[in-house]
Amino acid sequence: MKSIRYALMAAVAAASPTGWTAVPIDTETLRSAVTVEGVRSHQLAFQDFADANGGTRAATTVGYDASATYVAQMMLDAGYDVSIEPFDFPYFEEFSPAKLEQTAPVPRVYPYADISGFVTMTYSGGGNVTATATGVDLQLPPGADANNSTSGCEATDFAGFPVGNIAVIQRGSCSFQLKALNAENAGAVGVVIFNEGQPGRTDAFNGTLSDPVVGIPVVGAAFSVGEDLAAGGVMAKLSVDAVSEIRTTDNVIAETLGGRDDRVVVVGAHLDSVPEGPGIQDNGSGSAAILEIALQMAAMTTEPRNKVRFAWWGAEESGLQGSQAYVDGLTPREIKNIALNLNFDMIGSPNFVRFVYDGDGSATEAAGPNGSSNIEQVFLDYFAAQALPVEATAFDGRSDYGPFIAAGIPAGGLFTGAEDIKSEEEAALYGGIAGEQYDPCYHLACDTYDNISLQALDQMSDAAAHAIYTFAMTTSSINGTDKGSDKAKKAAEALEYLGNKLRR
């Protein structure tokens, strides 16, 4: 019943008193100027850049650089103060499915990306090795308590480890990176970290080594796979086709010349795609929308009361790297000067739902920092005035608002859905097809110019324009640099797994 409940909340929002006493801002002129045709022209440019450069706009590719140059030039021509801000980030890409086999004494092929098999760990090194599998300080059968195993956590665990073997290590009480580094330092040519074995901890798991510091292949496997390989006298083959390294890419930042610089409105959307495709919906939709809004704001020649800083983030798909680098580079005073962050990531999903981030935590488990509820209310009031139902979406740390929330900056924004499945209830409210993904081309090569709902893109672009101009022109402050409630703390805790590879 959540979506109906939230739709009703939106329907009465305009008539309900709120805790924010801002004078209403007339945004009709800007909304009328921001057309879906204008937004689509930028999406078409992004598609052209991808088509000319291997079908992708992933960070560090020529397709991404062309997109960044296009945005920067557009904003410079419109009169904004533009900067290109480079940053380093850990990059990982797997080019083909990994392989894990027992070659002797019983030949057996373990399934890749399957709960009964194994998964490549993020930031694994590449390699193709065949060697004897050797267990390292294992608890078989496992202990009664989870995270009890210390397998591979100490260098001394590898005393006598045969150089050139594949290390078979049990999941447990220390990081995957530490286990893998200890194995590599002991001369292992590959690492299989298998689940610990207690109830609920038997399946293969998708772990991360956190940084590209391990040079050998590392996978996370099911408990049964680990038992097989650790049985003694087992020969195994492990192959990972991947690159893991530090790369450099850019954020594009453009801000108004005027407006109060102690009440900055940061408007963000990630510009990069996944390597698999051009990313015209994810997130060519949000990137194109805020670009068109910025251009039309400049054409109005009305100086904002508050400085507006538009940001196109790089390497979001590698774990919110661009927005994180930006926030990490801010001084305490610069953080305090940011009034709020508005985030627009995927706003034209073909099988869409109109999602609004749940600033006050009333419909989800996590609220944003103080002031986020006021941002949410601006969107609710707007959609109620348009007689359009909306639904809450949680601050789960899976988009570029994450680093801002972690810094205590109020945040909000819009989203139309990714890989989750549309319910019958949502289909009744929003149209579309129940039982199918909101975006059937999420993170795939088919996320092209044609992968869009023009209705959603039009409606959400107007809503974004309304909120951006409202906060650009308001004389009321919503600034807050405290995480506030327990629900806000839950939102910050959710940021422990930043990354679009695991997101939405």
What are 369-408's pLDDT values in tens digits?
Answer: 999 999 999 999 999 999 999 999 999 999 999 999 999 9
Q: For the CA atoms of 49, 50, 52, 55, what is the dihedral angle to 10 degrees?
A: 180
Model-level pTM?
0.86
Map residue 220 onto helix, strand or coil: strand
The pLDDT value given to residue 20: 45
Q: Is the pLDDT of residue 484 over 90?
A: no
Q: Is the pLDDT of residue 106 over 60?
A: yes
Domain ranges of the chain: 2-80+256-502, 92-245
Domain at 2-80+256-502: CATH code: 3.40.630.10
User: Which whole-number Å values give the CA distances from 375 to 37, 225, 302, 320, 456, in the listed order?
Assistant: 27, 49, 22, 22, 20
pLDDT level of residue 477 (50, 70, 90 thresholds): confident
Task: At 86, list the tokens.
Answer: 């480079």
Map residue 421 onto helix, strand or coil: strand
Q: Is the pLDDT of residue 19 over 50?
A: no
In this structure, of 78-92, 272-286, 486-500, the range with the lowest mean pLDDT score is 486-500
In this structure, of 247-256, 344-353, 425-434, 490-499, the range with the lowest mean pLDDT score is 490-499
Q: Letter for the amino acid at 464?
A: A
Average pLDDT over residues 303-324: 97
The pLDDT value given to residue 207: 95
pLDDT level of residue 216 (50, 70, 90 thresholds): very high
The pLDDT value given to residue 24: 78
**Cα–Cα distance, 411 to 371 (Å, whole number):** 8
**Cα–Cα distance, 450 to 290 (Å, whole number):** 20
**In which residue are the tokens 């609220």 written?**
367
Bridge partners for 128 per DSSP: 239
Do the bridges between strand 235-255 and strand 81-104 make them parallel or antiparallel, or are there none, so unpaired?
A: antiparallel
pLDDT level of residue 366 (50, 70, 90 thresholds): confident
Q: Is the pLDDT of residue 16 over 50?
A: no
Per-residue model confidence as pLDDT tens digits over 275-294: 999 999 999 999 999 999 99
Q: Could you tell me which CATH class the domain 92-245 is placed in?
A: alpha beta
User: Longest Cα pair distance anywhere in the chain, in angstroms?
Assistant: 77
- CB proximity list for 299: less than 8 A, separation 6 or greater: 33, 78
Residue 191's closest CA among 221, 163, 218, 162?
A: 218
**Cα–Cα distance, 65 to 107 (Å, whole number):** 47
Q: Does residue 283 have a cis bond before it (omega within 30 degrees)? A: yes
Q: Which of 184, 316, 317, 391 is catalytic?
A: 316
The pLDDT value given to residue 478: 77
The pLDDT value given to residue 338: 97
The pLDDT value given to residue 476: 86
Per-residue model confidence as pLDDT tens digits over 161-173: 999 999 999 999 9
Give percent of the chain above pLDDT 90: 88
H or E, element range at 53 = none
The pLDDT value given to residue 101: 98
Q: What are phi and psi of 426, to 5 degrees?
A: -70, -35
Average pLDDT, the chain: 91
Say if CB 48 and CB 448 are below 8 A apart: no
Task: At 362, list the tokens.
Answer: 């009333």
The pLDDT value given to residue 23: 61
Say if CB 87 and CB 321 are below 8 A apart: yes
Task: At 366, list the tokens.
Answer: 């996590």
Average pLDDT over residues 436-441: 98
Give me the numbers of helices (H) and strands (E) for the chain, helices first please: 14, 14
Q: Is 255 labeled as catalytic in the residue annotation? A: no
Say if CB 320 and CB 403 are below 8 A apart: yes
Average pLDDT over residues 488-497: 44
The pLDDT value given to residue 253: 98
Average pLDDT over residues 463-468: 98
Q: Is the pLDDT of residue 494 over 60?
A: no
Q: Is the pLDDT of residue 349 over 90?
A: yes
DSSP annotation of 142 reads P
Do the bridges between strand 190-194 and strand 218-221 make them parallel or antiparallel, or are there none, so unpaired?
A: parallel
The pLDDT value given to residue 52: 98
The pLDDT value given to residue 22: 56
